């Protein structure tokens, strides 16, 4: 799912 | 990281600092919506819970700490230190009409039905409408201090720059997050009439006053 992608934005 | 996201973050940081300094230097929060500032504190708290669990970069972590620290410091100044100057009568937007629908939407539409992901989604949706109490207050008082308009301009500009960042990331990194994009577009649209007034009035040295 999407949440695997690192959330790197503030 | 790209230049649009970096300038967006710096514009956001500038807005937060401008507001904090305005309240601290003038020892007054006249014209400032405490409700919007509470919503922003909630936005940062629910979005940056991963501060404890994941480390992305020194920049990422330090900016999150600064945002959260300034947000709570601003709320403290408004509701504690300078509460005598808080204009509660004009800060009358019913925030429950924002928080409840946003909370429901975050549970229904998200990327992953997990605790942190739903909180992040809630934070993204809430941020897109968090400025409404402030804009509502300005429409009720019919005017805004010039420093407050600079704060709002930087705040609106930050998410507009993020939209450019998302376009950039779509083409060069094949990355896009529809939830953040849709909420960011809504958020930026809410500033449009303020942007018009800011450019046509404040930048020409006039005071921002709405036809009452």
> Which of B13, B15, B56, B158 to probe by mutation at the A interface, max A CB count within 10 Å?
B56
Task: For residue B75, count other CB atoms closer than 10 A to its CB.
Answer: 17
**CB-closest option in B64, B112, B165 to A2:** B112
What the block records as the tokens of B49 is 């819970």
Residues B151, B91: Cα–Cα separation, whole Å = 17
pLDDT value of position B169: 96
Asked if B111 lies within 8 A of A2 by C-beta distance, the reply is yes
Q: ipTM of the predicted structure?
A: 0.88
pLDDT value of position B47: 98
| Residue B28 φ then ψ, to 5° | -150, 145
What the block records as the tokens of B48 is 């940056």
Please state whether beta strands B208-209 and B143-144 pair in parallel, antiparallel, or not at all (unpaired).
antiparallel
For chain B, 212 residues long, the average pLDDT of each consecutive 10-residue run is 98 98 98 98 97 94 98 98 98 98 98 96 98 97 96 98 98 95 98 97 93 66
Residue B115 with chain A: CB contacts under 8 Å: none
pLDDT value of position B210: 86
Asked if the model's pLDDT at residue A2 lies above 50, the reply is: no
pLDDT value of position A3: 46
B10 close contact with A: CB closer than 8 A? no
**CB-closest option in B12, B111, B116 to A1:** B111
pLDDT value of position B183: 98
Please report which confidence band the pLDDT of residue A5 belongs to, taking 50, 70 and 90 as the band edges. low
């Amino acid at each position: 799912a999407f949440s695997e992608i690192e959330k790197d934005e503030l | 990281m790209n230049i649009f996201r970096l300038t967006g973050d710096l514009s956001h940081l500038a807005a937060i600092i401008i507001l904090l300094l305005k309240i601290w230097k003038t020892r007054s929060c006249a014209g400032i919506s405490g409700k919007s500032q509470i919503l922003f504190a909630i936005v940062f708290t629910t979005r940056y819970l991963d501060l404890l669990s994941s480390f992305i970069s020194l920049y990422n972590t330090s900016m999150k700490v600064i945002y959260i620290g300034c947000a709570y410091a601003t709320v403290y100044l408004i509701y504690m230190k300078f509460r005598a100057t808080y204009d509660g009568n004009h800060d009358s937007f019913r925030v429950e009409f924002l928080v409840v629908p946003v909370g429901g939407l975050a549970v229904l539409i998200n990327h992953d039905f997990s605790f942190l992901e739903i909180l992040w989604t809630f934070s993204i949706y809430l941020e897109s409408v968090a400025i409404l109490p402030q804009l509502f207050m300005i429409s009720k008082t019919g005017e805004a201090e010039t420093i407050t308009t600079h704060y709002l301009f930087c705040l609106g500009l930050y998410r507009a720059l993020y939209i450019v960042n998302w376009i950039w990331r779509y083409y060069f990194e094949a990355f896009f997050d529809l939830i953040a994009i849709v909420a960011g577009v809504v958020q930026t649209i809410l500033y449009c009439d303020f942007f018009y007034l800011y450019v046509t009035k404040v930048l020409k040295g006039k005071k921002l006053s709405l036809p009452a």
